[in-house]
Structure 1
């Protein structure tokens, strides 16, 4: 596994300098780590490691698919004849070249302009876990920005949390976008970053 991590790190660096197909190569190399880990974990739910994965996406999204594929809903959304799917392999494949790019460089301008970020990375999430978020904040690269970022480890959360506990989860985006609260928080005018 450590050999795979080293190869992944090198492939990511190459993606950062060369772009293009090297980013696809980085995705393939690094994804082997995820696949090996998932294989060792067994049938764990990617979004909540306390549960078993049931079905191809670990959850049943048929109600959402049925709703969004109703003609009246499609007409209201103005999407024409496009069928909604919960997870599109076409979209996934089109984004593969972006997975290993350093998208962190886009965060500072957002924070510097007072845009608050709601990062859904939970305590029990295998794919989007809170440890990377804590590492970023503790690295000193997001100085004076704590009021713009969500708590480092939302307790009992994962990035499918809106699906499993919708009423409770709806509060987080509402609070993050509440300008009344933001004015009371004494937010800094800027954030400094070291990338």
Structure 2
């Protein structure tokens, strides 16, 4: 089982990463998230290894790669699994992602635009879309409950119920919609 972690809000990330590692999962994380996990005394892989390319453009491109997105969007169906194997892409079973915090007001358009998260929303939306096969997490308050469900199922992602997955997907899309609305509002406020 493979989890991809890339969070701005690092609360309880050690609970999630540690729980997954204890259950025998492979865990990869973006650079900042990986540092926070290391500060908690845990070791996880780099998302750049999964992506097959290093973080690029000053950190603006980390997860927007075919390898990461195909791993998230793959279903537990033979055609998908065969295609992943053919291209050496690893299947992703859990995504934990929350976005950069936007400024309250756009003091500088360049600074504001730099804070707009692109890869995080893409990953979280993909996990939400594919919630029948991937556990989408965007709220640190959900980490312990999901780890408990996984533990009760011996670490299997199937231990997270469909009902819980749909609730997590709904939350992911609510967070995404609110984030997009905030970005739009900041653009509108800057045109005065």
Scaled to the shorter chain, the TM-score interval is under 0.3
Q: Greater strand percent: which structure?
A: 2
* TM-score, normalised relative to structure 1: 0.26
* TM-score, normalised relative to structure 2: 0.27
